[in-house]
Structure 1
Amino acid sequence: MISNISFELSSIFTVFLVISLCFSSCSCIRTRDLRRNAEFIDHTAISRPQPRVDHARMMAEFANHTAISDFRIINRKSLGDCPDPNPYIRINVSSANAKLSDDQFVTVTISGVLVPAASDWVAMISPANSDVSSCPLNGIQYQQTGDFSILPLLCHYPVKAQYASSDPGYLACKNQECQQRNARGDCVVKTCSATLQFHVINIRTDIEFVFFAGGFITPCILKRTTPTSFANPKKPLYGHLSSIDSTGNSMRVTWVSGDKTPQKVQYGNGKSQTSVVTTFSQADMCSSVPASPAKDFGWHDPGYVHSAVMTGLQPSTTFSYRYGSNSAGWSDSIKFKTPPAGGADEVKFISFGDMGKAPRDPSLEHYIQPGSLSVVNAIASEVSSGNIDSIFHIGDISYATGFLVEWDFFLHLISPVAAQLSYMTAIGNHERDYIDTGSVYVTADSGGECGVPYETYFPMPTSEKDKPWYSIEQGSVHFTVISTEHDWSESSEQFAWMKKDMASVDRTRTPWLIFMGHRPMYSTSDGSSFIPSVDNNFVQAVEPLLLSNKVDLALFGHVHNYERTCAVYQGECKAMPTKDGNGIDTYDNTNYQAPVHAVIGMAGFSLDSFPSTASSWSLTRISEFGYARVHATRTDLNFEFVNANTTEVGDRFHITRS
């Protein structure tokens, strides 16, 4: 049986409850006297001093459990209208009199500020007019997902936030207006302004921008814009492809729309298929006491998810498609390439884990993955070259963790690549894990999502819901993709499936067997004392299957760096690579000894460092953002780690067989 790690929440919740209630009495207090001296009116809030929190210790303790981002601080504040507000303050949006497009930068201008403060900030709220009053108990919700700062929260999650000081001239009041002159014509009241840029995508619900004083700790509302809606909230968007089998003759396309009426995908020469429509609701999210972010202040309506299978295709062939309807609108025409059929002579694929997303503006957001933009840009260049057949993203997909609007931003981010190739995924802890829901690890890493959004947005060729393991063949490779978050013990259904799947591989048809999952079996980055990077129970149960079925390569994420091993089993090197004529490490699997393992969780999340010493099985360690590029023929598997920022190859090795 698996020895689950229990998560003792009750005592922590009690402490958070007491402290949060203490904070709930904090309010935004403003001292102003326009009659005495209008020039010295300060619209910053005065709040009770906040307790000091040892963020460095918490970051180290929970680095591999759930990392902590700066934007978490934004969402834990007590809100209310500022008393006796400055009468000159205004907030304007560039598109105030027009509808929002599907993808644009919006200019937000705040003006009439008497004394600029570093604590002034603007939030993007959706839906507009959401409840942003004080909800002090929401501090426990952040604690569930690994944020241990003891601060109150908003009742509704702001999609984005920017300090007004993002405008470099704001604090120095370089942009001035005269609001009042004396009898001689001298200006006696001058105000300042700031201009901010927000990247906005179509999330279907209307938005507003809110100007706050008092900083992220105890903000109060100065001004709100009127709601702005999207030109077409029903627009079909964020299409992405996946394989449904090993033939290369069919491809699934999945997209999001605000319209629940079935739509179509049109492709090839006049072919079309009607979509199957699904969605999920707040009631489908998991929760505990208190509520999870997904169940409460992090919820955002996902619209409707459409999926249709394009049949009658040919493998390794380029086609065009578009999706939508006459009433909701159509996507652009997109070219895509089918993967090679299983048993073909070769396949070229990209793989990585732990990508997430990052803003394309100066905004602060929940859970920013700083490397995601450079990695997607580098992969997009590879895809446009036509030299890649498919992509495998092995867990920790969007890092939404209960803040549902972030799935839209992730889907928007990957669209340039996922709309053109088969984008296959594996589930990770930040998609599935939650307390008392059947996940192996009893943590709240999914923020209450429990795999529901993941499986809705990324339907894989699995047997049924919440059994997210599958296998597929492309070219000369058989891929066995598992869930490290579901029971993998020797008595489990998944273990029996793994054993049967790998034993059934025809090595004359697909000479290479690649095993994929999220949590690794080998890593020199130890993780935290709470949950280590490597679960020895998982290794003891599953590693013998890899050896007995002669797995060539095992790929994992979860740890946010790149690391490659020798041919290793039970912590011992069974074979070391030799150098070929070009000085490249080469593993000869003609005389098979053990799998080579590679951790490839370096696609976006803040990077993990390595200890000063490493085990003998660890041959290469790189802490840089990037991805794996693999080319497998029938006799040679060529693996490269590509640095996303430089596009240079940081590590390269071959596995050969005769």
Structure 2
Amino acid sequence: LSAVKMLPVPAACALLSLAPVLVLGVPPIWTQPEQVHLSYAGVPGSMVVTWTTFNKTESEVEYGPAGAPLFEMSAKGDATVFVDSGEEKRKMFIHRVTLTNLKPAATYVYHCGSDDGWSDVFFFTALNDSSSFSPRFALYGDLGNENPQSLARLQKEAQQGLYDAILHIGNLYLLVHSDNARIGDEFMRQIQSVAAYVPYMTCPGNHEATYNFSNYRNRFSMPGQTESLWYSWNLGSAHIISFSTEVYFYLQFGLELLFKQYEWLKRDLEEANRPENRAERPWIITMGHRPMYCSDDDQDDCTNFDSYVRLGRNDTKPPAPGLEDLFYRHGVDVELWAHEHTYERLWPVYGDKVHNGSLEKPYVNPKAPVHIITGSAGCRERTDRFNPNPKAWSAFRSTDYGYSRMHVVNATHLYLEQVSDDQDGKVIDNIWVVKEKHGFSAWS
């Protein structure tokens, strides 16, 4: 600036006008870690740390128990090159390091990167692997980098340790082609303040579909070997299944994916229902983006009686099976959904009919799965409208921005509540699901 002051005004203006060019003329060194997020590897005592750089670097996590000298332990992983399919063919390096032999419920402090650049310092609590553990979750879908209204409250609560895991039920806005995937970078930077502290478990939604879900499949690190499209894991007394509803809608990416997922779901549910497994993890909870049922007024799949997700598709060869019967036959207890930018709790429902436990206590020993739709966390498309005449299975509805919480208390009790961000964090709905018996026989 002092040099500019010594120049005549026209010359100084000319120099300042060149400033952007001068800055851009120096190639940046993109070795700084960013977009840090955790996920559970599905193996007891483990946690995966994933992050991004834009130049090739080493992949290392330095960590240690809280209260001990910082970074007394280290683990190394590797990086995969991801090239976005947009016009610029932007290249990024996705780093993954798996931490193992973590002590259950112990808090660890960590940072990630390499000697070319380190992240901020974060912390997490290792998951308790006991089936008697009572995990707490935040649940939501359709959270955007534009109008992410619930994000600040979620950031604070995650850092306070209110949750053991986050379930983001599709539509990680906008992890797609917008601005050659730079919008995806921005979203991942935004959720770092949640996902770097708590395992951030996801499933794909329709806004991840661009370029055959490539951004989603490359940026996230869910359990199993299915590029995070479908997987299952255990926590406390729950077996949690994440799957893709999008295989019913993006047939251009391969009808075989729909059948492959269906067969995987069938095998996974059969395994979860083996007597010894169901005794240890009696709750079976599913998460998928597009609901089987909803009472929104937008002509989405769930507003139709013959919903693709629920009943399948007859316009394919061979016909594609739906999921309602599969889930019912295997005694799925709770089904979590998003996509609709609203919150809706259903009475226990199967076959488009209500199957309450009793008139006075509908969620005590219910005779069908319990459905929760929680897609109002906040995104650029705002909230949706409801049909003024819902069917009998609709129990509670809200268009407030907000998110849900779930507490799997023990083998028989599960608690769900809805938080309104519009009402400063007020709990506007809550239920206890109580089941003395799990599995298909519980319906009779």
Structure 1 residue aligned with 2:213, among 451, 455, 459? 451
Aligned residues: 392
Does residue 237 of structure 1 match 2:34? yes
Query: What's the CA shift string for 1:213-235, capped at 9, x where partnerless?
Result: xxxxxxxxxxx996487975321
| Secondary structure, counterpart of 1:351 in structure 2 | strand
Partner of 1:460: 222
Partner of 1:80: none
Partner of 1:546: 327
Distance 1:378 1:230 in 2: 38
Give the CA deviation at 1:577: 6.5
Distance 2:340 2:195 in 1: 24
Q: Which amino acid aligns with 2:53?
A: S
Query: What's the CA shift string for 1:91-117, capped at 9, x where partnerless?
Result: 9999x97xxxxxxxxxxxxxxxxxxxx
Partner of 2:77: 275
Give the CA deviation at 1:324: 1.1
Contact persistence 1:563–1:599 (CA under 8 A): yes
Distance 1:549 1:532, change over 3 A: closer
Contact persistence 2:232–2:241 (CA under 8 A): yes
Distance 1:324 1:339 in 2: 23
Listed as ranges, the gaps of 5+ residues in structure 1 are 1-86, 98-207, 209-223, 286-293, 359-369, 433-445, 580-584
Deviates more, 1:340-349 or 1:542-551: 340-349
| Secondary structure, counterpart of 2:174 in structure 1 | coil
| Secondary structure, counterpart of 1:381 in structure 2 | helix
Query: What's the CA shift string for 1:484-504, capped at 9, x where partnerless?
Result: 112599981211211121222
Bigger CA radius of gyration:
1
Q: Which amino acid aligns with 2:185?
A: D
- TM-score scaled to structure 1, two decimals? 0.56
Distance 1:631 1:237 in 2: 31
Structure 2 residue aligned with 1:521, among 292, 295, 307? 292
Distance 2:399 2:173 in 1: 21
Q: Which amino acid aligns with 1:357?
A: N
Partner of 1:648: 426
Structure 1 residue aligned with 2:129, among 341, 345, 348? 341
Contact persistence 1:471–1:480 (CA under 8 A): yes
Higher helix fraction (1 or 2) = 2
Partner of 1:315: 104
Distance 1:408 1:641 in 2: 29
Contact persistence 2:345–2:373 (CA under 8 A): yes
Give the CA deviation at 1:279: 2.2
Distance 1:230 1:638 in 2: 53
Distance 1:273 1:571, change over 3 A: same
Partner of 1:575: 356
Structure 2 residue aligned with 1:501, among 243, 254, 268? 268
Give the CA deviation at 1:569: 0.3
Distance 1:561 1:92 in 2: 53
Give the CA deviation at 1:271: 2.2
| Secondary structure, counterpart of 2:395 in structure 1 | strand
Partner of 1:305: 94
Partner of 2:61: 265
Distance 1:300 1:417, change over 3 A: farther
Partner of 1:407: 184
| Secondary structure, counterpart of 1:377 in structure 2 | helix
Distance 1:229 1:608, change over 3 A: farther
Q: Which amino acid aligns with 1:320?
A: V
| Secondary structure, counterpart of 1:245 in structure 2 | coil
Distance 1:593 1:329, change over 3 A: same
| Secondary structure, counterpart of 2:247 in structure 1 | coil
Give the CA deviation at 1:415: 0.7
Distance 1:230 1:566, change over 3 A: farther
| Secondary structure, counterpart of 1:396 in structure 2 | coil
Query: What's the CA shift string for 1:146-179, capped at 9, x where partnerless?
Result: xxxxxxxxxxxxxxxxxxxxxxxxxxxxxxxxxx
| Secondary structure, counterpart of 1:544 in structure 2 | helix
Partner of 2:204: 427
Give the CA deviation at 1:263: 2.4
Distance 1:543 1:232, change over 3 A: same
Distance 2:307 2:349 in 1: 15
Q: Which amino acid aligns with 1:253?
A: V
Contact persistence 1:340–1:389 (CA under 8 A): no
Does residue 350 of structure 1 match 2:138? yes
Does residue 595 of structure 1 match 2:369? yes
Contact persistence 1:462–1:468 (CA under 8 A): no
Listed as ranges, the gaps of 5+ residues in structure 2 are 1-9, 65-70, 249-254, 312-321, 437-444
Distance 1:504 1:260, change over 3 A: same
Distance 1:623 1:561 in 2: 5
Q: Which amino acid aligns with 1:514?
A: I
Distance 2:29 2:258 in 1: 51
Distance 2:349 2:26 in 1: 56
Q: Which amino acid aligns with 2:201?
A: M
Query: What's the CA shift string for 1:406-439, capped at 9, x where partnerless?
Result: 111101110111001110100111112xxxxxxx
Contact persistence 2:348–2:362 (CA under 8 A): no
Contact persistence 2:347–2:394 (CA under 8 A): yes
Q: Which amino acid aligns with 2:389?
A: T
Distance 1:92 1:571 in 2: 71
| Secondary structure, counterpart of 1:628 in structure 2 | strand
Give the CA deviation at 1:512: 1.1
Give the CA deviation at 1:518: 0.7
Contact persistence 1:578–1:587 (CA under 8 A): no
Partner of 1:485: 246
Partner of 1:175: none
Deviates more, 1:531-540 or 1:603-612: 531-540
Contact persistence 1:243–1:250 (CA under 8 A): yes
Q: Which amino acid aligns with 1:599?
A: I
Distance 2:398 2:203 in 1: 23
Partner of 2:409: 633
| Secondary structure, counterpart of 2:48 in structure 1 | strand
Contact persistence 1:342–1:509 (CA under 8 A): no
Give the CA deviation at 1:281: 1.9
Contact persistence 1:489–1:495 (CA under 8 A): no
Identity within the alignment, %: 31
Contact persistence 1:341–1:474 (CA under 8 A): yes
Q: Which amino acid aligns with 2:35?
A: Y
Contact persistence 2:31–2:57 (CA under 8 A): no
Contact persistence 1:566–1:576 (CA under 8 A): no
Q: Which amino acid aligns with 1:388?
A: Y
Distance 1:413 1:631, change over 3 A: same
Partner of 1:556: 337
Give the CA deviation at 1:241: 0.2
Partner of 2:4: none
- TM-score scaled to structure 2, two decimals? 0.81
Does residue 332 of structure 1 match 2:120? yes
